[in-house]
Amino acid sequence: MTDTNIVVDITIPAESFELGRVFSEFQGLSVRLERVVPLRSEPLPLVWLSHDDPSAVQAALQEHSQTELVRTISTANDEELFEVHWQTEIGGLIRIMIDTDARLLKAEGTAEEWRFRLRFATHEDLTAFNQAVTDHGIPLLLRQLHSSAESTDDPSLSTKQREAITEAYRQGYFNVPRDSSVTDLADAMDISDSALSQRLRRGLSVLVRETLISNTTSDSAASEE
């Protein structure tokens, strides 16, 4: 089953975006936001950074008035993945995205500008987003707009899957040797062993597809151009 959605590609100055203002002083910085996590579950919890001095960037992010906790999760291909816990009342462009039910498909930034790909379920949501951006005085360049038939079965990480993977990570389930078992995790989340195993398998499958497979496909397509 499919629905028609509106997909927009936009560009905004770094100074007009919360994270952009934090990172604007770091020339040569490359940032991308993890797209598999819905905005409403916890806004932008995963951030990939590439810079000559990642510790300085992390410190700047930690000192941001709207962050509560910033920690490194992993390092891969000259990028560091940070987990970011934001204050409850996060505002600006992120709040506009949440309030207008925008789905974040892609977000990449530098010290100068940020590019977003957003999906809206209705034209009304897109109109509300555009009006809110205008009301907040955020300069926006619309690079592309098109309708797209998308499956109603959301392929991204669900809240329950994310909770299971996060809990498994925090309890050392992925360590070698493991610091916790499926039973330990299931008990902590008050669900059955079977339900926990399914959430982990399906959630990890989504992460691999969305972060590794899709990125590999995009890189291959770019190299052929």
Segment 120-139 shows an average pLDDT of 91
For the CA atoms of 211, 217, 223, 225, the dihedral, rounded to the nearest 10 degrees, stands at -120
Q: Judge whether residue 151 has pLDDT over 80.
A: no
Q: Which two tokens stand for residue 167?
A: 């809990």
First to last CA, the chain: 33
**Gyration radius (Cα) of the chain, Å:** 18
Q: Residues 168, 172, 178, CA angle at the centre, nearest 5°?
A: 110
pLDDT at 25: 78
Q: Residues 143, 149, 155, CA angle at the centre, nearest 5°?
A: 95
Segment 170-190 shows an average pLDDT of 89
Q: Judge whether residue 103 has pLDDT over 50.
A: yes
Tens of pLDDT along 16-68? 887 788 777 788 888 888 654 445 555 566 788 888 887 888 888 788 777 77
**For residues 2 and 55, which has the higher predicted lDDT (pLDDT)?**
55
| Residue 8, number of CB atoms within 10 A of its CB | 20
Band the pLDDT of 152: cuts 50, 70, 90. Answer: very low
pLDDT at 113: 92
Q: Which two tokens stand for residue 138?
A: 């955020």
Band the pLDDT of 222: cuts 50, 70, 90. Answer: very low
H or E stretch at 182: helix 182-189
Residues composing the chain: 225
Q: Judge whether residue 214 has pLDDT over 60.
A: no
The SS3 of residue 19 is helix
CA 4 to chain centre: 23
Band the pLDDT of 105: cuts 50, 70, 90. Answer: confident
Q: What residue type is 57 in one-letter code?
A: V
The pTM assigned to this predicted structure is 0.59
Q: Judge whether residue 131 has pLDDT over 90.
A: yes
Cα(71)–Cα(83) distance, rounded to whole angstroms?
5
Is residue 203 within 8 A of residue 161, CB to CB? The reply is: yes
pLDDT at 136: 92
Q: Judge whether residue 114 has pLDDT over 70.
A: yes
For the CA atoms of 161, 158, 198, 152, the dihedral, rounded to the nearest 10 degrees, stands at -170
